[in-house]
Amino acid sequence: MRRTALPDMIRDMSESKAMILGSSGPTLIPDEVAFYREQRPWAFILFARNIVDAQQVRDLVAAMRDCAGNPDAPVFIDQEGGRVQRLRPPLAPNYPPGAALGALYQKYPDAGLRAAWLVSRLHAFDLRKFDITADCLPVLDVPVEGAHDVIGDRAYGKEPGIVTLMGRSAMEGLKAGGVLPVIKHIPGHGRAFADSHHNLPVVEATLDELRAHDFPPFRALSDAPMAMTAHVVYTAIDPERPATTSPKAINEIIRKELQFDGLLMSDDVSMKALSGDFAERTEAIFAAGCDVVLHCNGIMDEMKAVASRTPVLAGDASRRAHLAVQGLAINDGASEAEIRAEFEALFGAVA
């Protein structure tokens, strides 16, 4: 594996605020330029509304980084495959969802693991063409029967062992291409019977049930550089607060029991599972122990409220951020054509 020169991010990150922000459209409007320049977010995230064509995406990413005062500021995207895939043809092929890869694993384990790695390595090729450097993947949630389909076929399977192995392969594929992986949604969204985008899911499983079914993939991949929290209440852990805003869930479960010491980002602060106004939500997220807050929709008034309660990256959060971005300097030098041909031969042509 080839390591290129590390990005000069130590100095640039020293004044960054601990937030990942979206923008409203395919180009930055003047208010966004002024706001980002003033607030210096650590990173950005792209959605379908931000994507028109190849050069436009590159220009948008460059403009975001220029505003943040950091030419190497991480830029995130949700590029899983299946229904959660922001880059679409002609910018990137459509890829199968996690469940399809998991189904291949159940028939042919070696082929399934290889396919999971190949898809992620192809994501890395696709994203790096547009200077996008972080992917919110792999999904390590383990659904149960009857759970809301907000996870559904995004999961690799309904057995923690399968999800663990496939998640590891997917994570390593991204890392091989110099893309920062984010495991999600820690400590597990698979039992949720509601969509946290719209409602607050409450999971009433016992701690023993969570330890047997939900936690294992996150514990096994605790060496991941980043993780995204779940906006889910686990009554056996904290009956009052979702994991994102629960000091007990973060400190006792995520950090201590699951032994995750990577950079911990919240799921989107604008999701309706969280209560309070945006300043209150942000304050609760950092008070609970998250390192970085995520705000996705690009609504300016909301971003201003989030920024008003977001600290500058410092202490353990800064340490974890620096460790996370080191992986962006790694590239295995693989041939995209060969990787793509191998995947299509293994899995079948994708649309």
Catalytic residue positions, numbered = 197, 267
- Alpha carbon 245 to chain centroid distance? 18
**Residue 143 CB partners (closer than 8 Å, separation 6+):** 151, 152, 155, 158, 190, 191
Q: Which amino acid is at 55?
A: Q
Instruction: Name the DSSP class of 199.
Output: S
Token pair 């209150």 is at which residue? 280
Asked whether the beta carbons of 313 and 73 are under 8 A apart, the reply is: no
Backbone angles phi, psi at 4, to 5 degrees: -90, 175
The answer to whether the beta carbons of residues 188 and 141 sit under 8 Å apart is yes
Say if residues 141 and 196 touch (Cβ distance below 8 Å). Answer: no
Can you say how many angstroms the Cα of residue 2 is from the centroid of all Cα atoms in its chain? 24
Query: If residue 19 lies in a helix (H) or strand (E), which one and from where to where?
Result: strand 17-21
Of 293, 219, 296, nearest to 259 (Cα)?
Answer: 219
3-state DSSP helix/strand/coil percent for the chain, to nearest 5? 45, 15, 40
Measured N-to-C along each axis, helices 98-107 and 160-176 cross at an angle, to the nearest 10 degrees, of 110
Q: Helix 98-107 and helix 109-128: axis angle, to 10°?
A: 150
